[in-house]
A and B are shown apart, each in its own frame.
Chain A
Amino acid sequence: GENVEQHPSTLSVQEGDSAVIKCTYSDSASNYFPWYKQELGKGPQLIIDIRSNVGEKKDQRIAVTLNKTAKHFSLHITETQPEDSAVYFCAASSGTGGFKTIFGAGTRLFVKA
């Protein structure tokens, strides 16, 4: 079945440094890749997304890259701040038979002040 793998599971960075989270997906028909941020006790919130016809997208300090050939996509956060500390999930929208969204297992990001 469809699968999304995400790593690292935990990432600790110093404030101001960059953070990179990487994901791979299995369903070659997937063509929509959202990233979510989840804070304690809350539901996930979309922070950025990318479609398969684009290789890179940037929104202020956040950027996402996609390599469809390798089935890899990555989240880059620059100039990290303590408020970036949260769990981040990558996801892929399954292209087979519907619009199921398959999530990775998450990366817990700690930004140390």
Chain B
Amino acid sequence: GAGVSQTPSNKVTEKGKYVELRCDPISGHTALYWYRQSLGQGPEFLIYFQGTGAADDSGLPNDRFFAVRPEGSVSTLKIQRTERGDSAVYLCASSLRFERGNEQFFGPGTRLTVL
């Protein structure tokens, strides 16, 4: 079956602009996670959802970052007033259930470049 998909695969924007990054999880997966990966680093936790609600958003770096999952499936990560330091690969993952130890399946990521 289809894995986690993310669109766009690449996004180039200018400093100060608004961007939206989309994640389509594996069908039936109730848990969804967003990570940010800078060059040469491991994924950095941003937020995860159980269903429609954000169970933990403590990883969001500041109030310019926001994520939604209105119907419990597709999720959108929104970044306002982008800064050059936001440049990174944004990864989305989903898991069947919301519990520790449930395998997370990652998408290929969206590479965001802020000029």
Partners in one complex: yes
B101 touches A93 (CB 8 A): yes
B106 touches A41 (CB 8 A): no
Q: Classify the secondary structure of B's interface with A.
A: loop
Distance between B37 CB and nearest chain A CB, rounded to angstroms: 9
Instruction: Give every chain B residue within 8 A of A98 (Cβ-Cβ).
Output: 48, 55-56, 58
A106 touches B41 (CB 8 A): yes
A100 in the interface (beta carbon within 8 A): yes
A106 touches B42 (CB 8 A): yes
Stretch touching chain B among A11-19, A45-53, A78-86 = A45-53
Instruction: Give every chain A residue within 8 A of B105 (Cβ-Cβ).
Output: 46
Instruction: Give every chain A residue within 8 A of B41 (Cβ-Cβ).
Output: 105-106
Nearest B residue to A50 via CB reads B101
Once bound together, how far apart are the Cα atoms of A98 and B103, in whole Å?
16
A55 in the interface (beta carbon within 8 A): no
B42 touches A41 (CB 8 A): no
Instruction: Give every chain A residue within 8 A of B106 (Cβ-Cβ).
Output: 36, 43-45
B66 in the interface (beta carbon within 8 A): no
18 pairs of residues in contact across A and B, judged by CB atoms under 8 Å: A4-B42, A34-B103, A41-B108, A42-B108, A43-B93, A43-B106, A43-B109, A44-B43, A89-B43, A91-B42, A93-B100, A99-B55, A99-B98, A101-B45, A105-B40, A105-B41, A106-B40, A106-B41
Q: In the complex, given contacts A49-B101, A102-B45, what are 11 additional A-B residue pairs having Cβ atoms less than 8 angstroms apart?
A: A32-B100, A34-B104, A42-B108, A91-B42, A97-B56, A100-B59, A103-B42, A103-B43, A103-B45, A106-B41, A106-B42
Residues on B close to A: CB < 8 A? 4, 33, 35, 40-45, 48, 55-56, 58-59, 91, 93, 98-101, 103-109
